[in-house]
Amino acid sequence: MTLKAFQRSDGRWALQGVTNDPSAPGLLGRKYFHVGPHWFGVDDSFTDAVSVRAYFDPVEYRAMFQVDPARFDFIGYTQCAQLSFCGMPVPPQVYGGRLADREPYVFSPVQHFLDFMGPSDSLAARVGLPLYPFNSRLFGLKNEDLFSDLVPNGALWSPAPHGDRQSLVASLAANVAPGLVTRDRLGEAVAGLPELARITPKGELTLEYPAYQIALEALSNVPLKGSTVPWLNGLKPAQVEAELIGELVVLTLPDPEELGDALVVHTDRGPAGEPVVVVRVLPAYDLTVLKTDTGNDLLWRIQGHADRTGMRLPYPPARRGWGTSGLHSPPFRPPAEHYPLQLRYWTATIGVSGGGSRVLSCFTWALLFQYEEIGGRFIASALDEPQMVDGFDWHAAVTGLHKAQHTSPGAVIDPTNFTAAALWRQPYTGGPKLQFPSDRQ
């Protein structure tokens, strides 16, 4: 079956042909690219994390490379990444934030690391290959379940039959969460705040909907106790900026001066164990404090790493003196128009058979970050267009998994990095959006 992209009523793109069911297309996102046998979609409805999806068409691969995918037992995606600053590789721990816990998975001298569940989880699931659909084992799925188009982190493809709703392509569904505010820091900030609402989903609003959507629906339509008007009366989705930090969804509300308070939403359990949605209000000032200077602190860590490795950065030291120095003032200031920080991914399909596994096809893409001096932050501003590459070192990646399982068996990577990839996203347009190559031409 030929894959075909089409635009949905909400403006996002989807892909027809990923399953035999024409009513169940695969989501791509606000922007998509067709590179080699891969379809790659990007959804920045949430400013953080960005959701990416990839689909590998075995029919197109066979036509392009004259290799029959049916010679393999199954095919799946793998993904590795690298952080760099002005071309200098940066270890995940030096970067910090929500990528710091990837440190056990660094498998090369230039700081390539696996994008995969933590060593402790992969050991518990008895996973020996870092194929991205195996992350769905975090949902309790078994290997035989991973050939369905309904698998949260993407599906494996096989020429053999594997039951109903079998995927006709190999696929990947991933979160890219490079934020420097961790869920622990956010949790500390909201722990002492009173609850605005505690909502028990009823009727059409069940927990099949995301908790944040239940919260917005209830607060937009049902008055709080002691009020006659809904708390978010008249709110439009286009006014909301959404972020996902761990299992907490942060919804920044509209404000003329862009200093709106934020709703922090998560799920909990009631007295009888029933699911409830908890909403707290995080004042704009507290939200600003959480994010301010995280980029400046990162610049100090990068400067320290450059000093230790003998790397010379292309920016002169920041001028020091009255009004220009302080506890969090940066060691240097990248110009606002530069993209010094890069998070690059290599996304590859792997063919697996009884005789082993090999790389079939690989493309690379990257998020590019700009420095915001006023807030001392780094903002994911642009996406570097995906392009096909050769030479993906699959053997080193597999060795990296096994080494981490042996040397760091208790290491945990926040599982919400993977489970939240399945989160349904309302197409919010508030907040900064990624620039794509076509936007910058």
pLDDT digit string (tens) for 269-299?
A: 888 888 899 999 999 899 889 999 999 999 9
Q: Judge whether 137 and 129 are in contact, CB under 8 Å.
A: no
Cα 237 to Cα 257: distance, rounded to the nearest angstrom:
18
Which segments of 248-333 does DSSP mark as H helices, in order? 284-291, 294-309
Is residue 58 pLDDT above 60, yes or no?
Answer: yes
- Distance, in Å, from the CA atom of 168 to the CA atom of 148, rounded to the nearest integer, reads 9
The dihedral through the CA atoms of 304, 310, 312, 318 has a sign that is positive
| Residue 379, pLDDT above cutoff 90 | yes
Residue 69 to residue 351: CA distance in whole angstroms: 8
| Top-confidence range, 242-246, 325-329, 350-354 | 350-354
Question: CA 48, 365, 83, 392: dihedral to nearest 10 degrees?
Answer: 140
Of 60-69, 203-212, 245-254, which range is least confident? 203-212
Q: What is the mean pLDDT of residues 155-184?
A: 92
**In sequence order, what DSSP letters do the residues of 49-99 get, joined into one string?**
SEEEEEEE-HHHHHHHH---GGGSSEEEEEEEEEEEETTEEE-HHHH-GGG
At 441 the pLDDT is: 46
Cis, bond preceding 49 (omega within 30 deg of 0)? yes
pLDDT range class, residue 207, cuts 50, 70, 90: low
More confident residue, 85 or 324: 85
Residue 429 phi, psi (nearest 5): -115, 0
Decide if pLDDT at 100 tops 90.
yes
Query: What is the predicted pLDDT for the residue at 352?
Result: 97
* pLDDT for res 23: 81
Mean pLDDT, the chain, rounded, equals: 91
Take residue 49 and report the two structure tokens written for it. 């994390």
Residue 200 has pLDDT above 90, yes or no: no
Please state the rounded mean pLDDT for residues 173-201: 92
- pLDDT tens profile 210-269: 889 889 888 998 888 888 888 888 888 778 889 999 889 999 987 655 557 899 999 888
The pLDDT of residue 113 is 98
d(CA 16, CA 33): 15
- Token pair recorded at residue 369: 């970050």
Average pLDDT over residues 89-96: 98
**3-class DSSP state of 38:** strand
Cβ count near 438 (within 10 Å): 8
